[in-house]
Structure 1
Amino acid sequence: MSETGTAQGGITNGRADVELRLPADSAYASVLRTTTAGLAARLDFTIDDIEDLRIAVGEANAMVLPEADLGSDLTCEFFLAPGELRIAVGVTSAEAPAPDYDSFAWQVLSTLATTATAESRDGRFVVTMTMQSTAGGPGL
């Protein structure tokens, strides 16, 4: 993260509350989904919201992994707020692909998340999503 408060992939509003770095390999998708579910549970998300997040993060993973440079890492940044979880999943990608908004993965992700964006910039391909809890509790 730079000193200006901008994290990798253009996420702003300060440092991520949790950052996970894994090999860019689909074998680690379950680690990403489990971490997401644990953080959402900490924010008092409903079981249905947690399952939607698990699926959405899996689809984000499916979008970015094919674009990853050989031997690179997948990074996932989690920004926690009461009743809201913002997640940025990204990889280093020298070819900087254009996001495929017609893909099945994007359709599922954008349907499940409250908001979703995909961005290819500065040698990184990042999918960012925000999910708001339907529980209405205080969280954190």
Structure 2
Amino acid sequence: MSETNIVRGIAAHADVELRLPADSAYASVLRTLTAGLAARLDFTMDDIEDLRIAVSEAAAMVLDEADPGADLDCRFRLGDGRLTVVVSTTAADPAEPDYESFGWQVLATLAEEASIDAAPGTYSVCLVMRSALAPAT
């Protein structure tokens, strides 16, 4: 068997990338793709809904910092019952992360792990979600 483990037909280290205009009109595309990927990982319906909400909050945070005309870059890493999502954009002068905001509180509550990277030139939110059916690590 090769070094890449196969989980239900998905390479354990599969990556998916999506680039959209940094405009809230495209958020539904991001949520739909996220839900589809989670379904392939056998996330429960409740897990998928939590993930959709978390990704929506992450996208909203990133969109608030996007430069005019920027793209929204979304990277997904699929693992064994685990999905890592990084949503980022270009931001010449991003604001400091607001860890007291409602959006952050929702995201941090739903995700197993969450972080924000706000550096000159970029703003990104990373979240990790695990299916309730995934084996504990």
Do both share a fold (TM > 0.5)?
A: yes
* CA drift at 1:16: 6.7
Which residue of 99, 114, 117 corresponds with 1:116?
114
Higher radius of gyration, 1 or 2: 2
The answer on whether the counterparts of 2:14 and 2:79 sit within 8 Å (CA) in structure 1 is no
Asked whether 1:73 is paired with 2:71, we answer yes
Distance 1:69 1:16, change over 3 A: farther
Q: Give the Cα separation in 1 of the matches to 2:68 and 2:118.
A: 17
Q: Give the Cα separation in 1 of the matches to 2:100 and 2:26.
A: 25
Where does the alignment leave 5 or more consecutive residues of structure 1 unmatched?
Answer: 1-14
Higher strand share: 2
Alignment-derived partner of residue 22 in structure 1: 20
Given residue 116 of structure 2, which amino acid in structure 1 is its aligned partner? A
Give runs of ≥4 in structure 1 deviating > 2 Å.
Answer: none
Q: Give the Cα separation in 1 of the matches to 2:83 and 2:120.
A: 25
Q: Give the Cα separation in 1 of the matches to 2:120 and 2:75.
A: 17
**What root-mean-square deviation, in Å, do the aligned CA atoms of Structure 1 and Structure 2 show?**
1.4
Q: How does 1:94-133 map to 2 (within 5 A)?
A: 94-133=92-131
Which residue of 77, 82, 85 corresponds with 1:84?
82
Identity percentage over the alignment? Answer: 63
The answer on whether the counterparts of 1:64 and 1:90 sit within 8 Å (CA) in structure 2 is yes
Q: Give the Cα separation in 1 of the matches to 2:67 and 2:120.
A: 13
Alignment-derived partner of residue 51 in structure 1: 49
TM-score (normalised: structure 2): 0.86
Q: Give the Cα separation in 1 of the matches to 2:26 and 2:92.
A: 22
Alignment-derived partner of residue 8 in structure 1: none
* CA drift at 1:96: 2.6
Q: Give the Cα separation in 1 of the matches to 2:77 and 2:134.
A: 18
Alignment-derived partner of residue 39 in structure 2: 41
Where does the alignment leave 5 or more consecutive residues of structure 2 unmatched?
Answer: 1-12
Figure out how many residues of one structure are paired with residues of the other and give that number: 123
